[in-house]
Structure 1
Amino acid sequence: MTSNTNYGTTLLRISLGIIYIAHSLYLKLVIFTLPGTAAFFESIGLPAILAYATFAAEAIGGIALLLGVQARWAALALVPVALGATWAHSDAGWIFSNTGGGWEYPLFLAIATAVIALQGNGSLALQRDRAADQ
């Protein structure tokens, strides 16, 4: 990858890491609480345990993305989480500011996360990608 591509990938990776950490540690843990998140999952027909798995995936995956450690694998694990969020918000319409949140934002997260799964860590990562060195 060229230097600019590496920096672009890095910017996207770090931004996504921060977003996933915020969605897990702040939104699900502090604002909604884990039991509240589990209740929401149940209200849309999903098992409550999936809320805890989603919280863990977002927290661990977000940290991995932020630090640039196994970013491809972390992103690959987070794509289904973002697609699940897209599905969960699909009844609310397109715009995320709608009541219940729309589905365009989680869909964008899924696509951006897939980009990191394809491109890897980029620059400024604790773990270097072999492709980034070429």
Structure 2
Amino acid sequence: MTSSCPPSVPAAGTVLRVALGAMWISHALLKVLVFTLPGASKFFISVGLPGVLVYPVVAAEILGGVAILAGFYGRQVSLLLSPILAVAAWVHFPNGWVFTAPNGGWEYPVFLLAASLAHWLLGDGAFAARRSAVLVPA
């Protein structure tokens, strides 16, 4: 059975991929440049996570963000990074909905989790360095 999708789907995939890749990179740089790695480590400890975990998380966010931005196995990277957002949502859940609340709320990580899963389902779109198979027929 052959299915076709609108010609705008590759463009939509590209827009989502670029925005999501930039978000992952900026999310990591926030920990490095604003909170600092030692500060982010203290926050991790304050919510019951090992402080040393901040280093692989930041590395995954930067490398994953670059891979998504470039479209280098972006779908798989979005799926692999999704647990980071699930944990972030869990950590911030007690703070309420709004992410600007003290210690952040949960809506931002949940939205980014949904965007990451949408990217995984939709694909990398046009102009990807190494497009993987998409679940949405082209």
Fold agreement, TM-score > 0.5 = yes
| Alignment equivalent of 2:24, drawn from 20, 23, 40 | 20
CA distance in 1, matches of 2:89, 2:133: 33
Aligned to 1:70: 73
Would you say 1:6 and 2:10 are equivalent positions? yes
| Alignment equivalent of 2:117, drawn from 107, 114, 119 | 114
SS at match of 2:103: coil
Pairwise CA distance, 1:3: 2.5
Letter in 1 for 2:40: T
Gap regions ≥5 residues in structure 1? none
SS at match of 2:19: helix
Task: Quickly say closer, same or farther: Cα 1:126–1:35, change in 2 above 3 A.
Answer: same
CA distance in 2, matches of 1:126, 1:93: 39
Higher fraction of helix: 1
CA distance in 2, matches of 1:50, 1:72: 24
CA distance in 2, matches of 1:93, 1:130: 37
Partner deviation per Cα, 1:34-77 (whole Å, 9 max, x = no partner)? 11111110111001121111101110110011110010121011
Q: Which runs of 4+ in 1 moved over 2 A?
A: 128-134
Aligned length: 133
Q: Is the 8 A contact 1:57 1:77 kept in 2?
A: no
Aligned to 2:107: 104
Q: TM-score, normalised by structure 1?
A: 0.91
Would you say 1:80 and 2:44 are equivalent positions? no
Pairwise CA distance, 1:9: 1.2
Pairwise CA distance, 1:133: 8.7
Would you say 1:36 and 2:7 are equivalent positions? no
Pairwise CA distance, 1:85: 1.0
